Structure 1
């Protein structure tokens, strides 16, 4: 029995290291294939450069999805959104166990304006035997407060704490949105430049409080519960939201 416990513990450690290495490698490869963008700002401390890179990546995903009206998320849906979460470079990778894992940012509208972005994680997926990984960008569009309230209480399990559905895509979906907005959260993925609605039932969203403490000095629940000035670290994502989804939900 002790040997089995030790073997299980070692397997979990190997899994965590493999997953973390795969995530970092996929991020580096993805960035190397992108056009040159702005360099890190001089006023961004070294110890939060990774969080700043995450905000830049999330802002880029958001810009791409709002500037491709025939293939991206319908603007009318984003105009009505209560919150938006973007997870760049989510990977499906494992050593013996399959699943999703990624880091992103979430912002919620407060008084018609986008609130302070908070750092969040997404985990979950299927179990199976596989080695390797693939990266994709995920976007969650929150249509009401229920999903956010679940996150404030504990964690948000998609499909259980709030209904989730693959979101409509492109300009052709605009006409049917008025009668088809039944889900509380709409989910999207982008792989190889193409956006599509994606089913994410069972995935879990939680605060990345290590990143929140590093950047803001407080945890995610405190950031969502009260107004707080946005940090220069998360400014790229906050600015992209304000610029590309300016209208308040009706």
Structure 2
């Protein structure tokens, strides 16, 4: 059937208008969702900052100064979930920053996951802090993902004055691991868990898929929303290597 003269152009125009309206609808729908996701990431940064303040607020039971001054990277994971009913599962989302030649880097977003088998029932939520203590730990941080205790040697970190109690962490540990649950802060065994990049969250926060290596090397300016967290890390993890 042949359309009357001029009718075809009207149909094409209407189709273009419909397509434009659909695109606007998609954008209008996506923007609030993106804003909500960004708000969650800002909250995660704030939670991570508060965890460090609370841990370091009790000097006798906090991370020892030797470790603070020697750290290469710091990972904070608020409310790491661990539950079990015959098969155990662990999962958490957090943020990481690394020491560079001009201060601490802008943060990247990470996830920690793992599982265990055995006859166990229970559940808990724990705040975690992981500290990379040497260049090997730093190189693992720059990879896509690695297994703690497998790809990277790790040990439960000493607390307070207990840093003098042993030397294993000085000689062997690429990562020192800490937990805070119900107000208590202590080293923890995280062997078998996998730390990996959360590329979706990093893309949401920065607006593009920036490589982790680029961000953690200090080649990306710290966004205003992340400055309080990075500033808190810089405050406590002071450098002794001038």
Tell me, yes or no, whether TM beats 0.5: yes
Give the deviation of 1:174 after TM superposition.
4.2
| Residue 57 (structure 2) pairs with residue 72 (structure 1) | no
Give the match for residue 173 of structure 1: 162
Deviation of residue 202 (structure 1)? 1.0
Partner SS for 1:161: coil
Structure-1 separation of matches of 2:131 and 2:110 = 14
**Unmatched 5+ residue regions in structure 2?**
1-33
Query: 1:18: which partner in 2?
Result: none
Partner of 1:4: none
Matching residue of 2:177: 187
Is residue 2:168 matched to residue 1:205?
no
Report deviation, 1:106: 0.7
Contact 1:164 1:201 in 2 (8 A): yes
**Matches of 1:95 and 1:210 in 2, distance apart?**
30
Q: Who is 1:137 aligned against?
A: 127
Residues 1:249 and 1:138: Cα distance change in structure 2 (over 3 Å): farther
Q: How much does 1:243 deviate?
A: 1.9
Where does structure 1 lack aligned partners over 5 or more consecutive residues? Answer: 1-43
TM-score by length of 1: 0.74
RMSD: 2.4
- CA drift of 1:69 comes to 1.1
8 A contact 1:138–1:190 mirrored in 2: yes
Q: Does the alignment pair 1:241 with 2:233?
A: yes
- Per the TM alignment, residue 147 of structure 1 is displaced from its structure 2 partner at its CA by 2.5
Structure 1's 151 and 244: CA in aligned 2 closer, same or farther, altered over 3 A?
Answer: closer
Are the aligned partners of 1:48 and 1:233 in contact in 2 as well (CA < 8 Å)? Answer: no
Instruction: Spell out the pairing of 1:78-117 with structure 2 (5 A cutoff).
Output: 78-93=68-83, 97-111=87-101, 113-117=103-107
Change (3 A) 1:180 1:210: closer
Between structure 1 and structure 2, the one with the greater Rg is 2
Match of 1:161 in 2: 151
Q: Distance in 1 between matches of 2:215 and 2:128?
A: 22
Residues 68 and 236 of structure 2 are in contact (CA less than 8 Å); yes or no, is this contact kept in structure 1? Answer: no
In structure 2, the CA distance between the partners of 1:127 and 1:138, relative to structure 1 (3 Å rule), is same
Count residues in correspondence: 206
Per residue, is there more strand in 1 or in 2?
A: 2
